[in-house]
Structure 1
Amino acid sequence: MQLLRLGPLGHEIPAVRDNQGATRDLRPLTEDVDGPFLSSDGIARTRADIDKLPLLDAEGLRVGAPIARPTAVICIGQNYAAHAAESGDAPPEIPIVFFKHPNTVVGPDDELPFPPGATQLDWEVELGVVISKAAHRLGAPSESADHIAGFVVSHDVSERRWQVAESGGQWSKGKSGPSFNPLGPALVPLEDITSPDALHLWSRVNGEARQDSNTSDLIFDVPTLIWHLSQYMALEPGDLINTGTPQGVALSGRFPYLTPGDIIELGIDQLGSQRQLVVSE
């Protein structure tokens, strides 16, 4: 089962794709795939009633972000040892945390604007985790699964000069441009992922391989991240957590940064793939 949001930007309708590949209208159960829906056992209710939901003709509909604008986009930096090394840093001993503006979240195939003044636009494929119910001061990582709605492909777009040289030590300037977080195509519930700790993730630019890794290489796994974050903040239903990117980005110096006209493709096993065209803003 996969949760979707389809239609024009700002006017998406909620939908679900069943295990036979049919797309069904989710509006009999909810107005949107958002925090209130997820926290009220929306996924379980969808699973129970999925065969009763009307079929939806999705042909030609834009694929939007699979969750409505989240309250927070919480990101983990350098959570793959090889990526930390290519950035010139030692692997972190505790999770590095930064934030993206919620308006960075757009559809998986929407155009990626190249902002005026940008010189170092970079790609980062990441496993995204969506929170299903409030999590604050969890007792142990083993409690985290009860607070996970599911997983999604997340693209943490970065402007590295703004992130590093103009940041004052904080990364969010280079992470928060509008549309800097393509998300989707689908939110796949936790129960529908066979091994979330062993998912292949990859990226390509103009057809050339860039990133090729596996979530088994995460320094801090998903349960640990949710438990850790909950010690410092109250996670809310619908929040998005980006868990970090593997090696193979332009910051490494091995590849050129993005320019208008480039095409980025990225994906994660069992979660789907994205494709964006870089365009001048």
Structure 2
Amino acid sequence: MQQIIFLVTSLEGLHKPNFSRQLTAALQENVPVKLLVALVDFDAAWEVRQFIERLARNDERVHRVRIVTIAELAAKDAGLALSAEERNQPDLTAYTERVFTTDHDQIRRYLDHGHLRAELHQLDDQTPMVLRHYLHDQLIQVDTYDLTGRVVGVAKIQDGVVQTSYLLNQRGEAILRLTRHEQTVEHVYNLGADSVMLATEFSDAKQAAALNNMSHRQRERTLAKSVDHTEMISTTENYYSVLVYASYNRYRDVFTYYQTVLDQLMTPQTRLYVDLAVNAVLSPRMPRQLIFNY
């Protein structure tokens, strides 16, 4: 079947002007258009829905776009029951409830002697979106609901960062576990005297002040030191590995897993759009697939 799929891997990519342009162009063709939401932060799926709704106010054709989440695709997959500690389902009725409304949603805050213990965001009284759990007023867990009110994702938070996430099936079992890792990556730079990177302090030049604060003589010395100079810079990058509980297949990163999801959806007639920022990561994994960028 001929179709067009937009892979959404970040909210930043979604808000690129080129995304809206490419989506509008795709809707001019008489073929199904899908948005595959593949976000590590499961709760961000609600922001995707709200963004598409805003686009639809100016273009009725956007209503034809089908938003597909990985939770929806894997809802019937086998899973593993989480422990009580992993799932963490406190009795919210034990806390004092306060209700607030905003332009976008309704918020129910649950307080324990003045301390925030949970915060539920709802579209309305019947439609929960996201439940955030707190301990000592610090965010520790985020539960994400789907359109039917079912919890589809549980994210464990530490120091404001998602460390472990579980994607749940329709029985509330974990079907995926995403685990955050850090790795050191070394970048090699070859610099010449006219390098635009001279504003960065390399090697012996690191002992000098920033170029903008150097005298003319200091600047000349720094430039001379950087001629044909090679510098290795180490940086820390984060990534998430994926464990599929049904098969215990392990994927080193989410993009390797996303490839398997796309393989289930793609046909020879499918046109695939991905964020330019992840094209270099995805393209080698799908060498026979023509990939368009937004």
TM over 0.5: no
Larger strand proportion, structure 1 or 2?
Answer: 2
Give the number of the structure whose residues are more often helix, by fraction: 2
| Structure possessing the higher relative contact order (Cα contacts under 8 Å, 6 or more residues apart) | 1
Asked which structure has the greater CA Rg, the reply is: 2
Measured against the shorter chain, the TM-score band is under 0.3
TM-score normalised to the size of structure 2?
A: 0.20
TM-score (norm 1): 0.21
